[in-house]
Chain A
Amino acid sequence: MDAGQQISGLLIIGAVVPLLMFVLLAFLGPRLGKPFASFPAIFGILVSFGCAALALQRWWYVLTDDERVEAAASAYSWPWVVLGDIPIRFGVQLDSLTIAMYFMVTLVSSCIFIFSRGYMSGHSDEVDGVSKYHRFFAYLSLFAFSMLGLVISDSLLFLFIFWELVGLCSYLLIGYYFDRKYASNAAIKAFVVNRVGDFGFIIGLGLVALFLKDLSIGGAIAAFQSQSSGETGLFARDTAINLFGWYVRGDIVATLMGVFLFCGCIGKSAQVPLQVWLPDAMAGPTPVSALIHAATMVAAGVYLVARIFPLLTPGAQAVVAMVGGVTLILAALMAIVQTDIKKALAYSTLSQLGYMVFGMGMGAWVGALFHLITHAFFKAMLFLGSGQVIEGCHHEQDMRKMGGLWRKMPVTAFTFLVGVLAISGVGWPGKNTTPFFGLGGYYSKDEILAVAWFQTYGLSAASDGHHAGNFRERATDPLTNAHGYDSVILAGYSAEEGQHQTAHAGLETASGLKSDASLQPWIPKWLVWLAIITAWITPFYMMRVWWLTFMGKPRDEPVYHHAHESPGMYIPLVILAIGTFAASWFLFRGLIVDAAQHVAHISKLVVPLDGHEHLIHAFSGPALNKLVWPAFIVGFIAAFFIYRRGLKLAERIIDLPVVEQFYWILWQKFYFDEAYNKLVLAGTILFSRICGWFDKWVVDFVLVEGCARVVKGLAFFSGQRLDAGGIDQVAENLGRTAFRIGDLFRAVQTGRIRNYVIYTAATLAVVISVMVWW
Chain B
Amino acid sequence: MNFKYYIWVILLVSSAVLLCGGQTALAQESAAAAAIVPASGPLEVIFFWVLAIMIIGSALWIALTGSVVRMAVGLFFSFGGVALLFFLLQAYFLGVVQLIVYVGGILVLVVFGIMLTSSSPHVRYQVPRMELATTGLVSLLLFMVLGHVLYHAPWSTTGPQLPVSMNELGRGLLTDYLVPFELAGVVLLVVMVGAAYLARQEKR
* Chain A interface residues (CB < 8 Å from chain B): 754, 758, 761-762, 764-765, 768-769, 772
Contact = CB atoms under 8 A, between A and B. Distances in A.
B149 A765 contact: no
Interface in B23-79: none
A764 B148 contact: no
Interface in B123-167: 127, 134-135, 138-139, 141-142, 144-146, 148-149
A241 B135 CA distance: 65
A765 B135 contact: no
A641 B142 CA distance: 99
B145 A769 contact: yes
A765 B141 contact: yes
A766 to B, nearest CB: 8
A761 B149 contact: no
A764 B149 CA distance: 13
A82 to B, nearest CB: 15
A772 B138 CA distance: 18
Nearest to A773: B148
B142 A762 contact: yes
B65 to A, nearest CB: 17
A769 B134 CA distance: 19
A772 B149 contact: yes
Contacts of B142: 761-762, 764-765
A772 B153 CA distance: 11
Contact of A761 (B127, B139, B144, B148): B139
A764 B142 CA distance: 7
Contacts of B135: 754, 758
A765 B138 contact: yes
B138 A761 contact: yes
Given A758-B134, A758-B135, A768 B149 contact: yes
Interface string B161-204: 00000000000000000000000000000000000000000000
25 contacts: A754-B127, A754-B135, A758-B134, A758-B135, A758-B138, A758-B139, A761-B138, A761-B139, A761-B142, A762-B138, A762-B141, A762-B142, A764-B142, A765-B138, A765-B141, A765-B142, A765-B144, A765-B145, A768-B145, A768-B146, A768-B149, A769-B145, A772-B145, A772-B148, A772-B149
Nearest to B139: A761
A185 to B, nearest CB: 28
A758 B142 CA distance: 10
Interface string B94-137: 00000000000000000000000000000000010000001100
A772 B148 CA distance: 9
Interface of B: 127, 134-135, 138-139, 141-142, 144-146, 148-149
Given A754-B127, A768-B149, A772-B148, 4 more contacts: A758-B138, A764-B142, A765-B141, A768-B146
A-B interface, 5 closest residue pairs, ranked by CB to CB distance from nearest: A765-B142, A768-B145, A765-B145, A762-B138, A765-B141
A765 B148 CA distance: 11
B101 to A, nearest CB: 24
Q: Helix, strand, loop or mixed for chain B's interface?
A: helix
A754 B138 CA distance: 13
Contacts of A772: 145, 148-149
Contacts of B148: 772
Contacts of A765: 138, 141-142, 144-145
A610 B135 CA distance: 94
Contacts of B144: 765
Contacts of A768: 145-146, 149
B31 to A, nearest CB: 22
Contacts of B145: 765, 768-769, 772
Contacts of A769: 145
Nearest to B148: A772
B145 to A, nearest CB: 5
B178 to A, nearest CB: 13
A350 B69 CA distance: 71
A761 B144 CA distance: 12
B66 to A, nearest CB: 15
A758 B134 CA distance: 9
A762 B134 CA distance: 11
A754 B139 CA distance: 13
A758 B63 CA distance: 14
A764 B143 CA distance: 11
A769 B149 CA distance: 9
A398 B181 CA distance: 60
For B139, B141, B145, B148, the residue with the greatest tally of chain A CB atoms inside 10 Å of its CB is: B145
Nearest to A769: B145
B57 to A, nearest CB: 22
Contacts of B149: 768, 772
Contacts of B138: 758, 761-762, 765
B179 to A, nearest CB: 13
Contacts of B139: 758, 761
B139 to A, nearest CB: 6
A755 to B, nearest CB: 8
A116 to B, nearest CB: 31
A772 B141 CA distance: 14
User: Which of A761, A765, A768 has its CB near the most chain B CB atoms (within 10 A)?
Assistant: A765
A674 B28 CA distance: 86
A128 to B, nearest CB: 12
A762 B149 CA distance: 16
Which residue of B127, B138, B149 has the most chain A CB atoms within 10 A of its CB atom? B138
Nearest to A759: B138
Nearest to A768: B145
Nearest to B142: A765
* Candidate in A758, A764, A768 with the most chain B CB atoms within 10 angstroms: A758
B155 to A, nearest CB: 16
A646 to B, nearest CB: 54
Nearest to B146: A768
Contacts of A761: 138-139, 142
A220 to B, nearest CB: 29
A193 B102 CA distance: 52
A772 B149 CA distance: 8
A21 B127 CA distance: 58
Contacts of B127: 754
A765 B145 CA distance: 6
A624 to B, nearest CB: 60
B153 to A, nearest CB: 10
Contacts of A764: 142
Contacts of B146: 768
A100 to B, nearest CB: 40
A537 to B, nearest CB: 55
A769 B143 CA distance: 11
Contacts of B141: 762, 765
A23 to B, nearest CB: 17
A579 to B, nearest CB: 45
B104 to A, nearest CB: 28
Nearest to B134: A758
A247 B148 CA distance: 63
B149 to A, nearest CB: 6
A762 B142 CA distance: 7
A174 B166 CA distance: 54
B136 to A, nearest CB: 10
A761 B146 CA distance: 11
Contacts of A754: 127, 135
B63 to A, nearest CB: 13
Contacts of A762: 138, 141-142
A84 B141 CA distance: 51
A762 B145 CA distance: 10
A715 to B, nearest CB: 48
A754 B136 CA distance: 13
A768 B134 CA distance: 19
Contacts of B134: 758
B7 to A, nearest CB: 21
A769 B146 CA distance: 9
B26 to A, nearest CB: 21
A762 B139 CA distance: 8
A721 to B, nearest CB: 52
